[in-house]
Amino acid sequence: MFKRTRENIKAVKERDPAARNSLEVLLCYPGIWAIMLHTPAHWLYEHNCKLLARIISQLARWFTGIEIHPGAKIGRRCMIDHGMAVIIGETAEVGDDCTIYQGVTLGGTGKDTGKRHPTIGNRVLISTGAKVLGPFKVEDDVKIGAGSVVLRPVPAGCTVVGIPGTIVRRNGHPTDDMDQVDMPDPVAVELECLRRRVVELEALLSREFGREAVKRCEKDCQYEDIVREINNQVYEERQSGHDCTECDEMDCGIRELMKEMEEER
């Protein structure tokens, strides 16, 4: 237990810029204490002292705000940062060098018996508020975006965001960069693409049949602002993992069409 605690403290110092020294990490980081108390609780649970193991886990929950079932398996150098409201279920397994932020749930999806919680691979980053629900495997080097709900297996090296979780990048940035921001939203990408195509279609309609063919909205419509925003914005579909082949081949022509529309106005 003491060796693993030293490893966990070192992992926190490497990944958290706010960690200044080992003593501060030991005294002030609830994730360290949650894992320390989980170690004897898990040993007792494995040796059929389940009540005492549950009592220890509940004491850890009361002191740290982190609830780890004593039956869960936690790997080495796992960092639970802040940790409030983290829940790890009975049959969950967490690999080595993982990072778990506050509000994460590794839970089940019903009343099934047996294996009902996820298995997390090595070097996985699970961002704030993410939920991984079900008896499936999240492979190594995966990033899960903040607030995502993952309900199916995730291959190695992927980035997952959204509800339900969608793979938006394969073999992307390494998880040790601790980046929780550069994770594109696939729904936003699709909406942006659709919005651009609608504006293009309206411009073509106006060119072919005249401006009267395009029905205008009420005075409080945001159409003008949307046109201006699109005209000044280049949405990087390629960088976000989106592949809009048709738009790439045609180059969309949106900028020129919208400039013409604004000049007409």
Q: Give the range with max mean pLDDT: 60-69, 160-169, 234-243.
A: 60-69
Quick one: what percent of the chain has pLDDT higher than 90?
Answer: 39
184-219 pLDDT tens trace: 666 777 777 788 888 888 788 777 777 766 666 665
SS3 159: strand
Between CA 146 and CA 104 the distance in angstroms is 9
Global confidence as pTM = 0.69
Beta partners for 149? 131
Between CA 166 and CA 160 the distance in angstroms is 5
Contacts for 204-208 with beta carbons within 8 Å, 24 or more apart?
204/257, 206/261, 206/264, 207/257, 207/260
SS3 27: helix
DSSP 119: E
H helices present in 49-167, as ranges:
50-64
The per-residue pLDDT of the chain, averaged, comes to 80
Between CA 255 and CA 166 the distance in angstroms is 30
Q: Using the Cα atoms of residue 180, residue 186, residue 187 and residue 192 in order, give the sign of their dihedral.
A: positive
pLDDT classification of 232: cutoffs 50, 70, 90: low
In the block, tokens 């005249």 appear at 210
pLDDT classification of 166: cutoffs 50, 70, 90: confident
Q: Are strands 125-126 and 137-138 parallel, antiparallel or unpaired?
A: unpaired
pLDDT of residue 173: 62
94 closest CA partner among 66, 126, 67, 62 = 126
> Of residues 31 and 210, which shows the higher confidence score?
31
The residues near 142 (Cβ < 8 Å, ≥ 6 apart) are 121, 124, 125, 154, 155, 156, 157, 158, 159, 160, 175
Beta partners for 67? 87
pLDDT of residue 59: 94
41-91 pLDDT tens trace: 999 999 999 999 999 999 999 999 999 999 999 999 999 988 898 999 999
244-264 pLDDT tens trace: 444 544 445 555 555 555 555
115-127 pLDDT tens trace: 999 999 999 999 9
